[in-house]
Structure 1
Amino acid sequence: MSHERASANPANLAGATVRVVVADDQELVRGGFAMILDAQPGLEVVAEAGDGLEAIALVDEHRPDILLLDIRMPRMDGLEAARIVCARGDTKVIMLTTFDLDDYVYDALRAGVSGFLLKDVRRDDLVHAVRVVAAGESLLAPAITTKLIAHFAARPASGTLSPGRLAVLTQRERQTLELIARGLSNAEIAETMVLSEHTVKTHVSNLLTKLGLRDRVQAVIAAYESGLVTPGA
């Protein structure tokens, strides 16, 4: 059963609030995540869902900025729910996953998911993840995410980006894409390429537009699928 929430967070009155829906079939886990997020300034959990169908309905109703979504749920699993939510609108999806669900991770990345967290994520990392993804970035900093992407992006899949598609990129944009795929942040890329962070952000925006990609996660997949970067290299 879904649960609407009346937030007591004073920051919600300020205007620039990140609105979140939490979906997990385990009530204690779901409630714990919601409590942590709702206690943070500038974050508001507007609803909770116990399965994928409820999650989709609540996203349609509330139009949140972030959907925190477990992969394993009844009626409709998180992967199918993520596909639908990512295809419909601007709500960004962060998946909750475990090591034994690796096969789902790659499919979710291709669907447009913006990041992954392990179910035993620390409080500070959970809050940071929501803020990072809401700000338009993708959650590639944690080592687990980068390793998962590196492992699965090499698998054959329909719609694989051909190496020739990268010809539309400038040399700087191509180098930026390679460093994104290696898990570097904009600040780290700027330091590596001896550029300003603003210039790096421009390169990232340009390469996403030229390749028709939604975000940095899809950029990482494109880099591996095109052969620009190979796992373990």
Structure 2
Amino acid sequence: MTPTPRHEGRTALVTGGSRGIGRAISRRLAAEGALVAVHYGHDHAAAERTVKEIIADGGRAFPVHAELGVPGDADALWESFDREIAGQDAKPGLDVLVNNAGITLPRTIANVTEEDYDRLFAINTRAPFFVVQRGLPRLRDGGAIVNVSSVTTRFAYPAIIAYTMSKGALDTFTLALAKELGPRGIRVNAVAPGFTETEINPTLRNPEIRRAYSAESVFDRLGQPEDIAAVVAFAASGDAGWTTGQWIDASGGVRI
């Protein structure tokens, strides 16, 4: 089924938009009519591949490069965005910002080093904060911000304790932003995937772990990136115009 053009004439930026859930989000927003800035940090080939896929499907997209989790990352991202969008047939500015880029850390508290912790929070928490801060002058009134969180912020999961903490901070960020940006008509929501089929999770290579994760969902399967992308596209659209400050479960019913 062809998605409805809910994002026609809009410009969207998806951080970590070249692979996994980010790639699916980029493709979904483009299929719904948006011009999509596909951000990537290191994998230029993946970004080019995603952009080419979108164009081949009749959509519009361009790559944006900036390494996140390092000093000056937000400024570098927006400088790249401004430079690249100048070459597009589009007005400056942005309608949809999806903070998707992130890393995992599958370790219990005893095995997390200070370096691990700092890098995790630099990418998963600090980067979205300053990407939004620097991006607000570009974000048009009536736009939307979607933060990709995790269902694991709602139950105890010691195996990835630092990761869930970084995403929990993002949930709080969502609430505060929704209140602050409400007067501009900008909606801010968090979408929380569950166990999803992406390369970011190395544990999925283990068949026993795959079966266990699948069994967590009421549908007895892993989520697919496209499942998450559909929810993000809705949350960013006018169809969700009366929804802000919400944590939207996109886990397939994990632990309900």
Q: TM-score scaled to structure 1, two decimals?
A: 0.32
Which structure has greater helix proportion? 1
Higher relative contact order (CA 8 A, sep 6+): 2
Q: TM-score scaled to structure 2, two decimals?
A: 0.30
